[in-house]
Amino acid sequence: MNEKLISIKEFFQLRRSIPMLDARSEGEFIQGNIPGAINLPILNDEERKIVGTIYKEEGSLAAVKEGFKLVGPRFYQIIERAENKFPKKQILTYCWRGGMRSEIMAWLLGMSGFEIFRLIGGYKTYRNLTYETVRKERNYLVLGGKTGVGKTSLLHGLQLAGEHIIDLEALANHKGSSFGGIGQPCQPSIEQFENLLAEKLFTIPSASTIWIENESRKIGTVILADELYQQLLSRPLLEIIKSKKERIQHIKEEYATLPEDELISAVKRLQKKLGGLRTSEAIMAIQNNQDSLWIENVLLYYDKTYSFDLEKNHSNERIQVDLSGMEMPACVTKLLSLKEKISWKKQSN
């Protein structure tokens, strides 16, 4: 069998040129995986459940026998699928702890002429690393401001200028409001979100400044790790200010073309906060294509919520940055000049 056991460090180096095969069940894969891996289960969810029950009731040997009984008739299918997905016959593989399932996969495909690199410790080793990485102290510089000031656009403007950024909303597939999930793909599990975030952090030197948007603890169904969230609250906050007209226009460009029924559903989710009359007015405005009117209605709630959150949670350094009427290049230049002042202040303390 052409198999080599590799460390997580070797795994990261080799995955640049060799595809990854996740030998776990489809449910495990959805819950959390190494981004870029292809799922080819040795045992599917139902089979894994059966084998697990036998292991608990009858022991390891009985579970192994049942596993081979279940998967043996499908060996040829697994080989064919692997040949179709990995035509060069060279793969990195892993299971939960780098044990029996990936070992069987390596044996099976090795017998079929594959060159196999199997991760020691499996997905658990990778997940331990991503868990620690997400919670590690970093030099975050937080962009805040009321809804509609264009914080995400500013982040990407900074990225084009060569800055390191983390776009939490893009990783979470959610824009962080009642409207934030409209038109977005399904959200990842919290575990997979952390894997995706860690992958971004792997590429950024640990001492670098990282621009990040001020977020609530929850982004849709994704919940930020407490250690990360506390860092966002304690790091310097650049509070972006723009005119109400600019904010409404920005929201209009981002949301007004979305499906009417989904916009109405989002407004209805805010009814307890908006009140019945304002909710009805906003819904009617959506139906009549009066975009500025419904946006102005919901901004009353979001502005109030923002101000409350700011006073309650952000006791860190806050710098107001008025970017009203400024084009993106000028906005980025202004933010970068403030970054230098904050860095200088940090070094001098």
Catalytic positions, written as ranges: 95
Identity at 264, one-letter amino acid code: I
> How many other CB atoms are there within 10 angstroms of residue 18's CB atom?
16
CB 55 within 8 A of CB 64: no
Q: Which of 31, 45, 35, 36 is nearest to 191 (CA)?
A: 31
Quickly count helices (H) and strands (E) in the chain: 17, 12
CA dihedral 87, 92, 93, 98 (to 10 degrees): 160
User: Which residues pair with residue 143 across a beta bridge?
Assistant: 213, 238
CA dihedral 225, 235, 151, 344 (to 10 degrees): -140
Report CA torsion sign: 53, 54, 56, 57: positive
**Dist. CA 265–CA 260, nearest whole Å:** 9
Instruction: With residue 138 as reference, give the H or E element that holds it.
Output: none
**Dist. CA 141–CA 24, nearest whole Å:** 38
Residue linked to tokens 């904050």: 342
